[in-house]
Structure 1
Amino acid sequence: MTAAEFMKFLVALAKEVSADRGRARDLGITEDELAFYDALAADPSAVEHMEDTLLAKIAHELYEQIRNDVTVDWEIKEQARDRIMARVLRLLREYGYPPDRQPSAIERVLKQAEDVADMLA
């Protein structure tokens, strides 16, 4: 990669980060919560049936619950992972997330939790 290509990459990355900050601000959530929002909104069917504000509210609650449950080694403790999965499922049901889309949403949320576990622990 040349210096010019690298600079172009950095500019594109900065624009993407700025856009994500703007989306988070517009939704009234943090950037960390936006990652969970994106995990929930990855399914077009869910977005059709639920408003952005409701998905943002779920994302906020998911982040808070996961933040409170994550321990340093949570991803290797099946019990902790199961507890988080149960809480995610409860929240999705509570807010009417489409039942046929819940399993894939849970997997995306758990993957996101794994990605941020080091930061949260």
Structure 2
Amino acid sequence: MKLPPVFVHAMVLIGAALVAAYASAAELPDAQRQRELAHMVRQDCGSCHGLTLAGGLGPALTAEALAGKPADSLVATIYAGRPGTPMPPFRGIVSEAEVEWIVQQLLRGFPPDGGAAARAD
């Protein structure tokens, strides 16, 4: 029995969506890495965007300032930077999944800096 092409395409898309959803969930930074990322954003990003993320050389990164901005655009800006501006790429410093986590936190109101505690390896 040959399946209709529309059915096959629909199944492939559903499968791809499930794999993507599982991969995103599996790449969520652990609690220690989340603390490191929060410290990095507050210190490194804060050097341009203000230590309270309310703006400086770079625009504000508060939940209010980012409201309505597409998350994928914000991810792309952090990950790849903005050529011709002071915004550097963070590719190589953080993974794309970590950037997605950072963006979600920014859209909610970024957590305070708890410091970058040393790993207990």
User: TM (normalized to structure 2)?
Assistant: 0.33
User: TM (normalized to structure 1)?
Assistant: 0.33
